[in-house]
Structures are given as C-alpha cells and as structure tokens.
Amino acid sequence: MIRLLALILFVFASNAQAATHEDLLASIPPEKQIVFNAYNGRSLLGTHKLFFDVQGNTIKVRTEIDLKFKVLFVTAYTYEMRTEETWTNGQFVSFTSSADDNGEKESVSMTRQGAVSRINGSGFKGEVSEVLYPTSYWAYPALKTTGWMSTQSGKIQRVAVKPRGTESLKSGAAAVQANRYDVSGDLNMSLWFNGRVWTGARFKVSDNNILYVRQ
C-alpha cells in the first residue's frame, strides 16, 4: 500500500512566488563557489562544496558532499552526494542527484514543464505545481517558502523558517556578521546567511551535532 501511494501523482498548491534571476545571483559569491568544512564537535567529517556556473539567464549549480564519521580512527559511517541543478530566469527547471548513505543508494531527477515539476525520486514520484526549492540551501529566496524538495530522495519537506537575528560566525580566517534562520517542520536546522550568501549551517544526524564552517 505504501509503495502504491508513493506512485500516485500528488499535486500541491502554494502562493509562493518564483525568484527572479537577479534574486538568485545575489546568493552567488564572486568566487562562484561555496565550500564548507563539516564538523562533529572538533572532529572534521569532510566537505560540502557548491560550484556555480552563470551563462546569461541560466544558472547551473553542482554540489559535492563527502563525509566520514569515525570511531576510534575507524570509519563507522560514510555519506556521499552529487547533484546538478539548473535555473532559468529564476525558475528551478531541472535537477539530478545520486547519494550513497552508508551503502543505501538514493537518487532524484526533476524537470519543470510549464507550471508543473515532475519528480522521480527514491522517496517520492509525482507532480508538484507549487514553486519549489531544493534542499541545497544556497538560494536565499527559499527562506520565504514552505515547500522544499529533498535533494536526496525527492520528498517534499514542509518547513517553517524564522529569523533569529544577527550573530558573529566564523567564515574562512575571519568572523562575519551573519543572519541566522531556524528551520522547523520536516527539517530541523539553523542556516546562516551573510547578506544573501549561505555562510553556515547546524543540524543533527542521529545524536551528532553537525556544524558547517565556511572555508
């Protein structure tokens, strides 16, 4: 029954407005990349990297995540993900991903046709009519929406985002003033943005507190 329900074409409605091309450009740093070190306490787990390619009114984003959890110097858990997303005139038009969650394979493909996003993911298959943002987190306009598409499984994550004010955050060799946003609902995490550029994150994996520090 669960498998049958997952194959049904779901259609969601939302009042969220699509971003403009300029809105998204404001979330891309001049160096056209964002690189985080991921920590569990003081232990370095690996990296989360985003690379941006802007050609006219099209933005392509490539993400690489490589994490290893070690216990007494022995790797106990690994996580890898590769994604590619395309935006045209501010609209999220296509996406592909592959993930290896400690041996469990997941994937997503998405294409936007007219007013509908067609998602074929390991956790959701269907059509979505609302404005969608993927959980790649870099796009500042996503903070104003309530439906995010999981980059790992394709599931639609229902979220609420609350601003928590400005905090000092380590970024590279210096500290920056960044605005904190707490996400609740299907996802629970904190995101920091310096202006409109993604600058940090904090979330839990099982009982592990993960902190992203920008290089």
pLDDT tens figures, 139-170? 999 999 999 999 999 999 999 999 999 999 87
Pairing of strands 133-134, 147-149: parallel
Residue among 123, 48, 59 at smallest CA distance from 90 = 59
pTM assigned to the model: 0.88
Q: How confident is the model at residue 173 (pLDDT cuts 50, 70, 90)?
A: confident
Distance CA 12, CA 156 (A): 10
Share of the chain above pLDDT 70, in %: 92
Helix (H, G, I), strand (E, B) or coil at 23: helix
Sequence-ordered list of residues with C-beta below 8 angstroms from that of 11, at least 6 positions apart, any chain: 116, 126, 127, 128, 129
What pLDDT was estimated at residue 16?
55
Q: Give the pLDDT confidence score for residue 153 in this predicted structure.
A: 97
Q: Which two tokens stand for residue 162?
A: 């609350």
